[in-house]
Amino acid sequence: MLFAGLNEACGHPRTFPEPLTLAKARLVRSADLLRGCRTRVVIRTERIAKSWGYDVLLWHNYISPHQTAPDLLAPQRTAFYGFCQPNASEHSTGAKIALALASKSAKMRDFMHSREECEHALGVAERVARDAGALVFEGWRGRTTISYKGKFDLLTEYDLRSEQLIRDELTQAFPEHRIVGEENSETGDGDLVWYVDPIDGTTNFAHGHPFFCVSIALYDGAEGLAGVVHAPALGTTWKASKHSGAFRNGDRCEVSARASLEEALCATGFPYDRWTNPDNNHEELALFLRRARGIRRCGSAAIDLCLVADGTYDIYWEQGLNAWDMCAGALMVLEAGGQLSTYDGVTVDPRSGKLIATNGLLHDAAVRTVREARYEVERQNP
């Protein structure tokens, strides 16, 4: 499993071209563990495995019950820390570790976040999203306190209560993770981050419209690991984890197969400052209206992205978003076989606030249409 994982992480076929040779090993004992643990000793062995002209840094943690020396047949956990430079065996151990950590790539992170770990995070996220959705659903179409964050940007008591519930449950399950939510300040200091929207579509919720949801996603940098979008009034839950696909109420999601813009059903949204900002999506909307079969504006970016993932929509574009609006839905699109990009057609960071999401077949047409419309915006507002 280790070698297969290394091959996969490094972009090589599953069969090694030559056996790994362990060129160097060093045993590190923890005096604290030896003194303080009578039932087991964890002994870390660092190995530099040579292959393809590179040195690969591996760490093994051997769990040796009632022993002070490693039992090579005992349970172990292996972490792949990355490639060292060629001829890295000439460096000190500290230098090798530094080189390996500095050269981590996205494929290496793939190896470090196993499918099991992502699915575990997804299970927790789904439970938390359903708990928050049940709370929010209690207030839907009822009397709720409403305040204003901006002229058209509403805040209800259920936004605050939902986010607090989500924060409490995620912190209990993953105390080492950071949490970034819409309504409160960032908490935690870990590398893994939960992006939380306690109610995406607050205006819909406040008016009794059913298109609102709870959106929760776990990311490592720009890489999505797990995401859930739960729409309690629609009775629909979308979920996805890395390399495991996307699902709608348990059924696997696949993007649509439509390849003509004339047959496309599209979705979009508008920024809250649209009454003062000339870059307000009006030109893009007008051009898509002339070229596509139809446009929908449902008021929840997370749900719009999920509807691209499950094949309902063919194209979605919007700007002026936040990471908590986009992250879960963006992962759904990718896991369902869709495509994401910036307005310029390059790979997008789902936390960037602006994106185009499509079924892939229509991506070039969508990018081209947005570019044409934005040229007109820029020409009128130099």
The CATH number of domain 261-380 is 1.10.10.10: no
CATH 3.40.190.80 intervals, the chain: 261-380
pLDDT in tens, 195-228: 999 999 999 999 999 999 999 999 999 999 999 9
- Residue 224, CA atoms < 13 Å, CB-side half-sphere: 32
Report residue 86's pLDDT band, with 50, 70 and 90 as the boundaries: very low
Mean pLDDT on 68-72: 40
pLDDT at 16 over 90: no
| Contacts (Cβ under 8 Å, ≥6 apart) of 59 | 44, 45, 46, 47, 78, 79, 81
CATH 3.30.540.10 intervals, the chain: 115-252
pLDDT at 6 over 70: no
Q: Which CATH number applies to 115-252?
A: 3.30.540.10
More confident residue, 42 or 367: 367
Report residue 24's pLDDT band, with 50, 70 and 90 as the boundaries: very low
> 86-108 burial, b if ≥16 CB within 10 A, otherwise e?
eebeebeeeebbebbeeeeeeeb
Residue 145 phi/psi, 5-degree rounding, is -75, 130
Q: Where are the beta strands (DSSP E) in the chain?
A: 21-28, 40-51, 54-65, 76-83, 146-148, 154-156, 178-181, 192-200, 213-220, 223-231, 236-241, 245-248, 251-252, 265-268, 294-296, 315-319, 339-341, 354-358
pLDDT at 368 over 70: yes
Predicted confidence at residue 175, as pLDDT, reads: 93
d(CA 367, CA 131): 38
* Helix/strand/coil for 325: helix
pLDDT at 114 over 50: yes
